[in-house]
Structure 1
Amino acid sequence: MEILWYKALHLIFMVAWFAGIFYLPRLFVYHAQTESAEVSAQLKVMERRLLFFVTPFALLTLIFGALLIYSYGVAWWQASGWMHVKLVLVALLYVYHGYCFKLLADFYHDRNRRSHKFYRIFNEVPVLALFAIIILAILKPF
């Protein structure tokens, strides 16, 4: 029963985390497009609050995911090649999340040099990662 709680909490926190990392780059798109100082100031507040709100969800996703892996055991880990690929993608998502802090600081200090088109593409990265991660977790292809 304990493992089901870990799985449920892992999924709950993952969904909450992804809601934030889907929306934050969209705010960056709007921020890169605006020329209004007032809109820029409002977006700075929204971006900061959102990133700091979802970061604990990212950490809790990691904690409960690690507890799941630990609960399944070493033999399961060794036999689950799909999990190794999934964890590489997850690690890249944490790098992505960390990079959002750098982008946040760039906007905060008015030193963004990237276009709204960059942020539109950047916005798609977690979507593609989520597709791959879900397919790996459900289909377990290897």
Structure 2
Amino acid sequence: MIGRLLLWNAFLGRLQDKVVEEGKKDKVCWVDTKSGTFSIKSLYASLETGRVVQFPSSVVWNAWVPPRVCFFAWEVTWGKALTLDQLQRIGWSLANRCFLCLSHEESIDLILLHCDKARVLWELLFSLFRVFWVMQSTVRETLLG
């Protein structure tokens, strides 16, 4: 069930930056195939979790952002921020529970995007600017947006 929701979330994320131009005839072109033709196979290939995602350097290393924030974004993008799941991967024996929601295992994607407390903050921020946003499954995909 969660896998299907993640696929759906990724699909909606890919649609969010599409623009409807008034006065022009509609044209459908699937950009993940050379022919521009949609197929279920090409959809699954584009949503595949093992897909190589480029590094969003222009978003992470921004001159207007303080260097320590850029460095944190760099750590998060590469999955190197020291969260409980990362500490467990390098051999620490810890109970892994998110300290914000107390109901899921802690990861950087959970803390910054998917935790109930974080989601409330994001929804508040987006509503202030009247932005409709579909959260990606990872921080890296969100930065690539």
Task: Tell me the TM-score normalised to structure 1 length.
Answer: 0.25
- Kindly indicate whether structure 1 or structure 2 has the higher relative contact order, using CA contacts under 8 Å at least 6 residues apart: 1
Between Structure 1 and Structure 2, which shows a larger proportion of helix residues?
1
Task: Tell me the TM-score normalised to structure 2 length.
Answer: 0.24
